Amino acid sequence: MFAKTVVSKAVPYALGYWQKMTIGLWLLACGCFMLADTEVIALEPWSELGHMLLGVLQPDFFATEYLLEALWQTVSFALLGVCAGLLWGAPLALVYHKPWVAAFCAFIRAIHEIFWALLFLQLFGLSPVTGILAIALPFGATFARVFHDIISLAPADTGQNLPAGTDMLSRYVFGRIVHVSGQLQAYIRYRFECALRSSAVLGFVGMPTLGFYLESAFKQGQYHQGGALLILFVLLIGSISYWCRARLLPLYLLLALVFLPELPAIDGHLIWRFLSQDIWPPMLQGVSHLEQLDLQRLNALGSWLFTLLEKQALPGIFATLILALVALAMTHVLTLLWLPLVSRKLRGKWTVFGGKAMLLVLRSLPEYLLAFVLMLLLGPSMLPAMLALALHNAALLIFLTTRQSDKLVVSAQFSPKLDNYFYEILPRLYPGVMALLFYRFEVILRETAIFGMLGIATLGFYIDSQFVEIRFAGALVLMCFTAMMNIGVDALGRKILKGQKVPLLGC
């Protein structure tokens, strides 16, 4: 197999590290697939799909009220969210090697933006603060992790050339960060694209971004309106490099701050009420002294926790892991199959351009919509969600990998054929692809939450139900389970990749 060239030079005929990894992943995913609910039923989706297609072909750009405002707020929330995320995430990167910092960040990252927003909605109400914090919190935690990983791969020997007596800060900045500043900037640019997506998705829970109108339009079958919004959103993301210039950023930031929607005063009572009442299980509400904690209350608390665990947390974790693992393996297979099709080393200019346009559409589309279309085709099992996640993530992975692969220098003997590609290019990309895949696993886990809203019983489904029933204590307990699951996955991922010199492809 292709990966042999990388690792099995020393021990011929043994399975290389990445081969073991790959086979392990596939076997695990096959096992999960057997356990998953993947029933396909025969349906009659064509009239609905026809309407959808017609909607995209004949978009109605005037059906949406306050459209420019929604577009601007989508950009503005993303911009402010990323900036706030950088403010708290970048410094944490310096201490990310401490296990408790890593665990803390994994905790924050585990929870989907939508649930952060639902939580902040209780504290700040319908306010831009809710939306911006919902982006800033998980994005900051991601910055901390990735910045740490990038910086730790920077060459460390420059420090020895600095004059004696150089202070620690200068030593750090000029000795290490300067080496990777290009990578850091590229990463921030990429995360801004992610933030635009998140910002749009926050519209699903009421923030005044594109998602607010997009979700309603698709939900209620207004496909001409929905098609127009979708096209605008894809164009917005596809044109980032044209309108998002470093020089213009200060101006955008200023505009974002000035034209923020009206900011209601932050109400201390709401925060106090949330902390003192809302987050406590029903039997503990109104308990102000420790003596009131009698056996009866403790029993009630115990059975409440047990029911939550048995009926929601455990089945939710099971479904979430199964869905995410199969989606991960599908992403992997799709990436490998698709990568050669858009490689500039193999294909002509126009094929690559077409392929990349398709990637742009797939990575911009909210998975939620993709899953809904697939549901009409395949039925209401887990399969549509798996495929939606795989298509979206594979598109992202290829986008990130081709940025690197197109720059690779190939040997003089290289001819644009598939076997040459497998021999010469893929082995050099493979460790990076796998590292990205492990990064994406966490994202996939988090994204399963969205499918909870389509009725697939992941942890997100149960958390959403708790919010709907205004049971914040239950929601918080389930969110803690989500976070603990992610801390475990994060620790495992670090263990697996440890010792492998993995080039970070500006992931």
Among 171, 219, 245, 403, the residue binding other proteins under the rule CB under 8 A is 219
d(Cα 152, Cα 498) in Å, to the nearest integer? Answer: 13
State which residue, 2 or 124, has the beta carbon closest to other proteins: 124
State which residue, 311 or 403, has the beta carbon closest to other proteins: 311
- Smallest CA-to-CA distance from 319 within 455, 202, 473, 204 is with 455
Among 143, 147, 192, 212, the residue binding other proteins under the rule CB under 8 A is 212
Residue that is written with structure tokens 């639902």 in the block: 118
CB 349 within 8 A of CB 431: no
- Under the binding rule (CB under 8 A), the answer on residue 62 touching other proteins is no
- Under the binding rule (CB under 8 A), the answer on residue 50 touching other proteins is no
d(Cα 456, Cα 299) in Å, to the nearest integer? Answer: 32
Among 15, 45, 90, 355, the residue binding other proteins under the rule CB under 8 A is 45
CB of 125 to other proteins, least distance (A): 5
CB 197 within 8 A of CB 237: yes
DSSP 8-state assignment for residue 153: T
CB of 307 to other proteins, least distance (A): 11
- Under the binding rule (CB under 8 A), the answer on residue 493 touching other proteins is no
- Under the binding rule (CB under 8 A), the answer on residue 331 touching other proteins is no
State which residue, 273 or 494, has the beta carbon closest to other proteins: 273
CB of 48 to other proteins, least distance (A): 5
Q: Which amino acid is at 477?
A: V
- Under the binding rule (CB under 8 A), the answer on residue 54 touching other proteins is no
Q: Please report, as residue ranges, which positions from 246 to 275 form the binding site for other proteins (by CB under 8 A).
A: 264-271
CB of 337 to other proteins, least distance (A): 28
State which residue, 377 or 491, has the beta carbon closest to other proteins: 377
Among 59, 89, 203, 366, the residue binding other proteins under the rule CB under 8 A is 203
Q: Which amino acid is at 250?
A: P
Q: Which secondary structure element, helix H or strand E, spans residue 368, and what is its range?
A: helix 367-378
DSSP-assigned letters across all residues of 182-219: HHHHHHHHHHHHHHHHHHHHHGGGT-SSHHHHHHHHHH
Among 48, 234, 240, 301, the residue binding other proteins under the rule CB under 8 A is 48
Q: Total residues contacting other proteins (rule CB under 8 A)?
A: 50
Q: Which amino acid is at 428?
A: R
CB 104 within 8 A of CB 483: no
Q: Please report, as residue ranges, which positions from 341 to 380 form the binding site for other proteins (by CB under 8 A).
A: 375-376, 379-380
d(Cα 60, Cα 232) in Å, to the nearest integer? Answer: 11
- Under the binding rule (CB under 8 A), the answer on residue 168 touching other proteins is no
Q: Residue 156 half-sphere exposure, CB side, CA atoms within 13 Å?
A: 2
d(Cα 479, Cα 370) in Å, to the nearest integer? Answer: 25
State which residue, 125 or 238, has the beta carbon closest to other proteins: 125
CB of 325 to other proteins, least distance (A): 22
- Smallest CA-to-CA distance from 231 within 59, 82, 109 is with 59
CB of 296 to other proteins, least distance (A): 16
Q: Please report, as residue ranges, which positions from 419 to 458 form the binding site for other proteins (by CB under 8 A).
A: 453-455
- Smallest CA-to-CA distance from 347 within 429, 417, 426 is with 417
Among 91, 155, 282, 488, the residue binding other proteins under the rule CB under 8 A is 282
d(Cα 101, Cα 185) in Å, to the nearest integer? Answer: 23
State which residue, 265 or 290, has the beta carbon closest to other proteins: 265
Cα 80 to Cα 108, 131, 134, 228, 255: the distances in Å are 18, 10, 11, 26, 11
- Under the binding rule (CB under 8 A), the answer on residue 225 touching other proteins is yes
- Under the binding rule (CB under 8 A), the answer on residue 490 touching other proteins is no
Read off the tokens for 118: 């639902």
- Under the binding rule (CB under 8 A), the answer on residue 67 touching other proteins is no
Among 22, 74, 76, 122, the residue binding other proteins under the rule CB under 8 A is 122
Q: Which amino acid is at 53?
A: L
State which residue, 155 or 221, has the beta carbon closest to other proteins: 221
d(Cα 79, Cα 253) in Å, to the nearest integer? Answer: 7
Binding site for other proteins (CB under 8 A): 41-45, 47-48, 63, 65-66, 121-122, 125-126, 203-206, 208, 212, 215-217, 219-222, 225, 264-271, 282, 375-376, 379-380, 453-455, 464-465, 467-470
